[in-house]
Structures are given as structure tokens and as C-alpha cells.
Amino acid sequence: MRCMAATPSRCRRLNSNEKISEPMKTLRSRLLQKKVSNAKSIRIVVLILGVLTACTQPAIALGDYELVLSMTNQGGGRGTSTDYDLSASLIPGAGEVMLSSDYASYPYLPGQLYTPVELQVTAATASVAENGTKQLAATQVMDDATTLPVPAAEVTWQVLSGPISSISVAGVAQAGSVYQNTAASVQGGATGLNGTLKLTVLDTIPDNYGSYAGDGLPDGWQVQTMGLSGTSGGPALDPDGDGLSNLMEYALGLNPVLQSTLPATTVLNSGNMEFTYTRSKTAITGGTQFQVQWSDTLEATSWSGSGVSEQILSDDGTHQQVKATLPAGSGGRRFVRLRVQ
């Protein structure tokens, strides 16, 4: 043990019949204390092993020393140097000189002594509408299982992947446009720890993506059939040259880059014309309007839907087959067309 006398040379070994001074009794009592009454032990670690000596000079009270911490962590009271660890706390009596192994677990100090071991990035929900925003938050998880929110401005935000165009200093993520629900990943960093959050950018606007935006056709179908970007996706265009516009190809569930024939037949039956065609259920769900019209002259203003009735013949969930029945007329000829819009 290190002598606590002002003049070490005057220290001597304690004889068996000598009594220890009262200050040293107090010190030794503290050093030999092993457990506290509530069975949660706080070990007092004797830093220096040796023979207990009595000093002819009065021992210097602990209050006479000032330990200047060479480093403190966020617990606020743990100091560390190469020679000692000092752990103080807000709980009276809990601040003692200890080795790190003695307070590796310190359930008696929840929320008082802790070290961040994880950074969690969260949001109110794990999805964000396209072109919308989402507030992100970061929380430190400590080694005593407590948590501490980190102000967003103290977090370094980063987009790892997906259609998140930016994250502000305040932790607000800005979503971009998508043609389908799309995964994204963001990251927050603080106090040397990083946390990630997976978000889903929801496709809430069907016609707003890239070169296909605002043309009246769903971007998802255009990307699926013509690639992520293109100049032949307009509804009136016919990139495969089969005489069917992209709008008609979409409405009837056809491939706009693979030549097709109109999936329709016309027959006479008991004085009526029966026009049977197949259409896309996706287009129906998306709001596409179908109308069978007839004309005897092909003049632009002569087309009419008068007297036309429709019957659904089959529905497999993807396509729907419909029969339109209309009067054959008495003029000897009648033309039928399918109008899609």
C-alpha cells in the first residue's frame, strides 16, 4: 500500500500490539468493504498491494486530493487514465475507485453510467409517399439498455439507396418519384455509431415518373414494357408498328413492343351484330373507359353507341372477355369500332 504520510521515510511496519490511528481505521475499513447491504456488491479495489503500515504522520484525508480526470465519457463521471479508473455517480456512495471489471455490470446505476453501443434510426412509419417527406429520428441505445434521443441536427444523415433525393439537417427525408413501390435505405451517424432504416417509397401517383410522366399511361406499365426511360411510350405512338396505339395495347393487355392483332371478332346473329373483344383488368381498375360504337358511313360525327349492350363472357382476373350486341341495321353495311380513353 502506498504510504499516505507526508514523509514516507518515517513510515514503519505496524507491530502486532500497536493500534492503528483512527483516520487509518476509517481508510482501511473502506478499503476492505466488499459488499453493500442490498447484496448488490460494490467492490472497493485496492490499487496498491503491500503491507499495511502505520504512519507517524497523520494520514491525509481523501478530501485533500484532487483527481483531475484525463478523460470523461457521456456518463459524466467516469474518468480513465493509464493508472486508474474513477467512476462517480449521482447516487451517494456509488462513486468509488474501481477497476473496470468491477463495474462492467452496474445495474444499480441505470441511466447514470452508460456508454452508447447502438444508434437506432426510426420514423413514425416505414413508408413515405412519393414526392412526400418523412421525419427521421435517432436514438442512442446504451449498454445498460437505456435510450437517449439524439437531436436530429447532431446526426449525420445519408441516403444509402433508393429514391430518397435528400435528407435535411433536421432529419427530414425527401422522397422522389417512383413508378412502383420502391425500397430505400437511409443512415444516421452520431457519436461514432451508425444506424440504418429501410423505407418504402409508395407509388401514389401513377403518371409522374421520368420521361413517361404526364402522358396518360401508367408509368409502371410503360417501364415494364419499354424500359426505365424511352421516347416511344406516348399513348398515340405505335413503336411495334402493328397498327395498335400504345393506349390500345395497354387497354387490351397487349405488349406494345411486340406486334399483335386486335383480339376481337364480329359476327351476325339473328339480325344483330356481336362484337366480342378482350380487355385488360388492370386497365379497367385503372379507370380506362371502353365503348363499342357503330357507324354506317365512317364519317367522324356518325359514330354512335345507341342500342349497344354488353355482356361479360369470362374473367380470369387478368383479362375480361366482353360481347357487345348491337342492331345490324338495314342499310346493308355497318361498321363497329372499340373506343378507348
Which of 219, 273, 280, 294 contacts Ca ion by CB under 5 A? 219
> Which H/E stretch holds residue 226?
helix 219-226
Span from 102-110, 167-175, 214-222, 326-334 in contact with Ca ion (CB under 5 A): 214-222
Which of 207, 274, 296, 310 contacts Ca ion by CB under 5 A? 207
- Residue 238 touches Ca ion, criterion: CB under 5 A: yes
Residue 11 — φ and ψ, nearest 5°? -80, 155
Minimum Å gap between C-beta 254 and Ca ion is 7
Span from 87-95, 161-169, 237-245, 311-319 in contact with Ca ion (CB under 5 A): 237-245
Which of 175, 201, 242, 326 contacts Ca ion by CB under 5 A? 242
213-250 core/surface letters (b: 16 or more CB in 10 A; e: else): eebebbbbbbbebbeeebeebbbebbbbebebbbbbbb
Which of 120, 196, 208, 232 contacts Ca ion by CB under 5 A? 208
Minimum Å gap between C-beta 181 and Ca ion is 10
279-302 core/surface letters (b: 16 or more CB in 10 A; e: else): bbebbeeeebebebbbbeeeeeee
The one-letter code for the residue type at 151 is P
- Residue 85 touches Ca ion, criterion: CB under 5 A: no
Minimum Å gap between C-beta 297 and Ca ion is 27
DSSP 124-144: SSSEEETT-EEEEEEEEEETT
The one-letter code for the residue type at 187 is Q
Minimum Å gap between C-beta 40 and Ca ion is 58
Span from 2-10, 20-28, 143-151, 240-248 in contact with Ca ion (CB under 5 A): 240-248
d(CA 150, CA 52): 49
Q: Which residue lies nearest Ca ion, judged by its C-beta?
A: 212
CB 167, CB 136: distance < 8 Å: yes
- Residue 137 touches Ca ion, criterion: CB under 5 A: no
Residues present in the chain in total: 341
Q: How many residues bind Ca ion (CB under 5 A)?
A: 12
- Residue 240 touches Ca ion, criterion: CB under 5 A: yes
Which of 144, 215, 274, 310 contacts Ca ion by CB under 5 A? 215
Those residues whose C-beta lies under 8 Å from the C-beta of residue 156, and which sit 6 or more positions away, are: 188, 189, 190
Binding site for Ca ion (CB under 5 A): 203, 205, 207-208, 212, 215, 217, 219, 238, 240, 242, 244
